[in-house]
Amino acid sequence: MSGENPMNSSNEAQEQKPSRARIWFSEVRAPFLTAAIVPVILGTCVAWASTGVFLPDVFLLTLIAGMFLHIGANISNDYYDHKSGSDDINVDYVSPFTGGSRMIQKGWMDVTS
């Protein structure tokens, strides 16, 4: 024996828990926020072209609200997928478009977070 703990060798596939900031970045699925940002920018451009008026405060508030709505939808989707068991069934997620963030399934977050 090499003095290695046999429990560690069977758990080599498990990932190390990342920092709390990295966990939340993954949970909110930041790369997908473009789905909230692009429509706000496009709508702002259309409104500006139609009226000739640009209101930066309204633009920023709308952009922030759209991003927070999208983040909330992502997080609630992860929670309810976990609660219904559909994320536990989906063990062969092959792309970022299936299986959500997997933070609950990996044990990096619990449902009370």
Written as tens digits, the pLDDT of the chain (113 aa) is 444 444 443 343 456 777 777 777 777 778 888 999 999 999 999 999 999 999 999 999 999 999 999 988 888 877 777 777 766 666 666 566 565 666 666 666 666 55
Closest CA to 103 of 7, 26, 31: 26
Contacts of 74 by beta carbon, 8 Å cutoff, 6+ apart = 27, 28, 29, 32, 100, 101
Whether the CB-CB separation of 87 and 78 falls below 8 Å is answered with yes
The answer to whether 95 touches 29, Cβ cutoff 8 Å, is no
> What is the value of pTM for the model shown?
0.65
Question: How many alpha carbons lie under 13 Å from residue 55 in its C-beta half-sphere?
Answer: 9
d(CA 102, CA 81): 10
